Structure 1
Amino acid sequence: MTFEDGFPNLFISYARGIRGQHVAFLASFSSPAVIFEQLSVIYALPRLFISSFTLVLPFFPTGSYERMEDEGDVATAFTLARILSNIPISRGGPTSLVIFDIHALQERFYFGDSVLPCFESGVPLLMNRLQQLPDSDNISIAFPDDGAWKRFHKLLHHFPMIICNKVREGDQRIVQLKEGDPQGRHVVIVDDLVQSGGTLIECQKVLAAHGADRISAYVTHGIFPNRSWERFKHDNGAGPNNGFNYFWITDSCPLTVREVKNRAPFEILSLSVQIASALQI
């Protein structure tokens, strides 16, 4: 509900009933328009005499906007981290903040001492899913760039690895195979998030050209602005030149899940078990 001026009209039901309880709030900052109303509730809950407060924010949405390259650039990732770092302290102490696969690793240092960030990963969901595939003994993991390799290679070290990279040719950035051999393998491209998907598609083309038998992809956060998920086609058994065998995403971006559910090649991996485990820490 909103007031006549459009600002949210909020009410926390059962406010007295949560006194002395351990409270968790599952947030989704899917767009700037919905952040303010959720922050209003997030700031109010610790003041209701609860024993502890945990904020679960599966996708930290400003994570790819943390760089200041020119004077005047605003690092919005740092701004959001500061806002979350000032959540009021509950009776049990600072707020626990659960985030999955934050985009830039240095962002974990953006948070102040008044919040306890807990950084989790969706990659264990992928590993469980890969074990269920009929060709689980023929899988290689590909990274679209060195950043993805640095982030995930320790979690996936028991798979053969392939690394791609981007090089500049004139005004274009071309994806090339840097190391590893995709010949005859089911190659799974792994990254933390996807927006337009251009890099993943270029990586797919390179891997197919070097003899990959099948190509799939995994990202924790499927953002896909402007329905860019439509660019990703299912190979329909025709081979990696024609599309992806699987494209796994988690449910960290619920608006995307609503759009791609039951659409091949997409398959949703739920973070619910990981979130439940984090709440037991």
Structure 2
Amino acid sequence: MAATAAAAAASNSQLHSSPHNPTRSPLPSPSSKCSHFSSSLLLQLQVKPYRTNSISSLTSNCRSSRVYCEIKSFESHQNYHQQNLTVGFLSGSGQLHSIQSSSPPSSVPMAATASSDSGSKGVKRICLFYCDETKALAERIAARSDAIELRSINWKTFDDGFPNLFIPNAQGIRGQHVAFLASFSSPKVIFEQLSIIYALPKLFISSFTLVLPFFPTGTSERMEDEGDVATAFTLARILSNIPTSRGGPTSLVTFDIHALQERFYFGDNILPCFESGIPLLMNRLQQLPDSHNIAIAFPDDGAWKRFHKQLQHFPTIVCAKVREGEQRIVRIKEGDPQGRHVVIVDDLVQSGGTLIECQKVLAKHGASRVSAYVTHGIFPNQSWERFQFDSAGNPATGLTYFWITDSCPSTVNAVMKRQPFEVLSLASSIAAALQI
């Protein structure tokens, strides 16, 4: 009995000593040649009142105990067939309890498990809703990432024409990261989409992101005469009042907004994320056989201010509109297109009149080929029909390429498989932005 008490006292003294005691032997580093190591690691645990056969004597008389434990030995065989762990527990009563555990083999090595955890860490699972116009783009976005799950909405109308909307399985998105892919292609569809946009954040979701590839009122951003209404500011105010979700303010993802100052139109209750389609253009230009001979032309100073920093490694040509009598014509302000494949770059096109005039003046000054890029191809009244394909190497009569993105779904459907148009999809850019 005396020997047993002395041994317990020695163990008690050893367990309560500092873990930084220099008399302790350090824990050897495991290696491929060493499958056994032992140490006296001091752990402090808070044990809650539950009973098992192994530690019933430890917790039978207490609701919460401070427990000290010592790892006596740990054996891990390289073939993962057996792992033995011996732990000594010392309760407040001074009794020493030992538990020996043999764990079953693991089907996945620890390193592989850690690698898998680190690979998935930080990836958000997104529930992506969409309207009828953006269904095709939403499917392309979901195809780019396994972390994005498409969710549909029932878009109906009452007999009087007002929206009759329903979000299926609304309780199923609680605690989820939610996004909505919108298209404000006309005033008619804005109200029904705003109704959904205002409803989703209130469904106890973790976060809400509005993806609006094209900000439609961007060209109406200033007042030139008293009485003008800057509808860009109006729409920004509407979006700034989207209800906050459990995770905070709504995030807004939009591409190549028309005027740089419009980012300041949004209030503090929304977090605008301004993306650009220019990286898609640059990737496409690198694939051209004459990529070494590309020059970039801007149809006006506004386009130059907006994009020149992203395209500064290309030779640059800047055009400008000047008034001659009753007409406004396009002239080259700086740069030389002689012998170059010139790509006209702007944020959007509507009727296309300025772009066509720019094409003609570039061809007149010696451009070997002329192409164009706009992020947003609006083309009201089918104005895309004005652009012809240069099939004979005559840039004065047509374009070699006209690149647009799929930010305006109705345009994509109209120009698909029609030369010189080629669609560069925003799907990958949007999928990446949803992970921010």
TM tier relative to shorter chain: over 0.9
Contact kept in structure 1, 2:299 and 2:355, CA below 8 Å: yes
Q: 1:149-228, aligned counterparts within 5 Å?
A: 149-228=304-383
CA distance in 2, matches of 1:237, 1:103: 34
Partner of 1:80: 235
How far has the Cα of 1:239 moved from its partner? Answer: 1.5
* 2:121 is the counterpart of 1:121: no
CA distance in 2, matches of 1:153, 1:19: 44
CA distance in 2, matches of 1:171, 1:28: 38
Q: Which runs of 5+ in 1 are unaligned?
A: none
Q: Which amino acid aligns with 2:310?
A: L
How far has the Cα of 1:237 moved from its partner? Answer: 2.9
Contact kept in structure 1, 2:369 and 2:393, CA below 8 Å: no
Partner of 1:111: 266
Structure 1 runs of 4+ with >4 Å offset: none
Cα offsets for 1:49-108 (capped at 9, x unmatched): 000000000000000011211121111100000000000000000000001000011100
Helix, strand or coil for the counterpart of 2:163? coil
CA distance in 1, matches of 2:325, 2:219: 25
* 2:164 is the counterpart of 1:9: yes
CA distance in 2, matches of 1:43, 1:206: 48
**Bigger Rg, structure 1 or 2:** 2
* 2:212 is the counterpart of 1:57: yes
TM-score (norm 1): 0.99
Q: Which runs of 5+ in 2 are unaligned?
A: 1-155
Q: Which amino acid aligns with 1:156?
A: L
Cα offsets for 1:224-279 (capped at 9, x unmatched): 00000000000113320110000000000000000000000000000001001111
CA distance in 2, matches of 1:220, 1:14: 35
Partner of 2:136: none
Partner of 1:30: 185
Q: Which amino acid aligns with 1:18?
A: I
Cα offsets for 1:14-43 (capped at 9, x unmatched): 100000000010000011100000000000
Contact kept in structure 1, 2:405 and 2:425, CA below 8 Å: yes
Partner of 1:91: 246
Identity rate, percent: 82
Helix, strand or coil for the counterpart of 2:166? coil
Cα offsets for 1:118-145 (capped at 9, x unmatched): 0000000000000000000000000000
Q: Which amino acid aligns with 1:238?
A: G
Farther-moved stretch of structure 1 (62-71 vs 46-55): 62-71
Q: Which has the higher contact order (CA 8 A, sep 6+)?
A: 1
Q: Which amino acid aligns with 2:259?
A: A
Q: Which amino acid aligns with 1:275?
A: I
CA distance in 2, matches of 1:214, 1:238: 7
Q: 1:223-238, aligned counterparts within 5 Å?
A: 223-238=378-393
CA distance in 2, matches of 1:179, 1:238: 24
Q: Which amino acid aligns with 1:157?
A: Q
Helix, strand or coil for the counterpart of 1:112? coil
CA distance in 1, matches of 2:293, 2:305: 23
TM-score (norm 2): 0.64
